[in-house]
Amino acid sequence: MNKLKFNSKGLLTGVAQDIDSRQVLMVAMMNAQAVSLTLETGLAHFWSRSREKLWLKGETSGNVLDVKTVKVDCDGDVLLLLVKPRGPACHTGKTSCFFSELDNNYVE
C-alpha cells in the first residue's frame, strides 16, 4: 500500500496517541495538506470540519503535539500519530479528549 485513501471530502481520520503512555489523546480529521505539514514540521496539523480550515493543534493554547512517528492502517484511510504532548490534548484542559463514560444520556 503506497497511497492514502481520503474520503469524498478529501479527509481521513487521524488518531493522536501518547508515545509513552499509549493513551489515545484525540481524534481529528486530516486533509492532504494537514498530513504534509505534520510530516514536514513534526507538529500535528488537522482539518477543522466546523471551521473549514487547517489548524495546528495547540496554535492558540500552546499545547502542541510533537509527532514522533506516523503509522498508516492497512486500508490507508486512518493515520496513527504517536506523539509527545506539550500539555493537555483536550480543549477542556483534560489530558485526553476521552474522559467521559458512555451512558444513556449520550444516546437518543
Beta-sheet strands, E only, within 22-101: 24-30, 45-48, 53-56, 65-72, 78-85
Range of the domain at 49: 12-106
pLDDT number for residue 102: 87
pLDDT number for residue 105: 77
> 36 φ, ψ to 5°?
-60, -45
Residue 48 maps to a domain: yes
| The total number of structural domains that make up the chain | 1
Measure Cα distances from 103 to 17, 88, 91, 99 in Å: 24, 24, 22, 13
Residue 2 maps to a domain: no
pLDDT number for residue 104: 80
- The CATH number assigned to the domain holding 58 equals 3.10.20.810
Residue 89 maps to a domain: yes
Residue 4 maps to a domain: no
Residue 6 maps to a domain: no
Q: Give the pTM.
A: 0.92
pLDDT number for residue 103: 84
68: cell is 514522533
Residue 35 maps to a domain: yes
Residue 43 maps to a domain: yes
Local confidence pLDDT in tens for the 108 residues of the chain? 569 999 999 999 999 999 999 999 999 999 999 999 999 999 999 999 999 999 999 999 999 999 999 999 999 999 999 999 999 999 999 999 999 998 887 776
pLDDT number for residue 59: 94
Q: Does residue 39 sit in helix, strand or coil?
A: helix
First-to-last C-alpha distance (Å) of the chain? 39
pLDDT number for residue 20: 98
Residue 62 maps to a domain: yes
